[in-house]
Amino acid sequence: MVPLFAVPSPPDPVRVARSGDRIVVTLRGLLDSAVGAALDDRLRAAPWEEGDRLLIDLREVTDFNEAGAACLLRTHGALVAVRPCRSAYLTDRPRLRALIFKIIHGTQDKNTRPVASLTAADAWLREASGQAFADVSLDRARTLLGRLQERLRDRRSTQ
């Protein structure tokens, strides 16, 4: 007997594609150990070329558990050890951004950054500078501190 309604299969939770000099990974649904293992397998099988950049799109990730976070950390660490490249994790969700900062800290990867938009991802991945995210952030903090100190001096001089 043929079913009247075909049940569509769920979308693949891990999609890897090439776009120019980038490997673009899109994750969907719950980031758990199964998705983490699939991500690891797909990244190892991806058609890497010299100078490639990595964009991991987490906008469709609904949540993650500790097993998924551990898999992502392990996968990123292995990638950094074998194929260091400039990477961006695309998400605007604070909890996922916190996970990415944990991964950056855990792997000591200075070439990875969480970004909130495709525009920011594009800017980070295209940046020719060898400056790491922490260095860029420190430079920005110093600039802001300098501006604040100038304003404070100006206020004191006008009083």
Give the separation between CA 107 and CA 100, rounded to whole angstroms. 10
Q: Where are the alpha helices (DSSP H) in 60-132?
A: 66-82, 94-107, 118-126
Question: What is the tens place of the pLDDT at every residue in 97-131?
Answer: 999 999 999 999 999 999 999 999 999 998 865 55
3-class secondary structure, 42: helix
Q: Which residues, 6+ apart, have CB-to-CB distance to 154 below 8 Å?
A: none
24 assigned to some structural domain: yes
Domain holding 96: CATH number? 3.30.750.24
pLDDT above 60 (res 50): yes
Instruction: Tell me which DSSP letter residue 19 carries.
Output: E
Domains held by the chain: number: 2
Distance of CA 18 to the CA centre of its chain: 16
Q: Which domain holds residue 147?
A: 131-159
For residue 2, tell me if it sits in a domain. Answer: no
- pLDDT tens-digit map of 134-155: 565 666 677 778 888 888 888 8
- Residue 130's pLDDT is 57
78-92 average pLDDT score: 91
Same-domain check for residues 92 and 69: yes
1 is a domain residue: no
Q: What share of the chain is helix, strand, coil (3-state, %, to 5)?
A: 50, 25, 30
**Residue 63 is inside which H or E element, if any?**
strand 53-64
Amino acid residing at 81: A
Enumerate residues 6+ apart whose C-beta is below 8 A from 100. Answer: 58, 89, 91, 112, 114
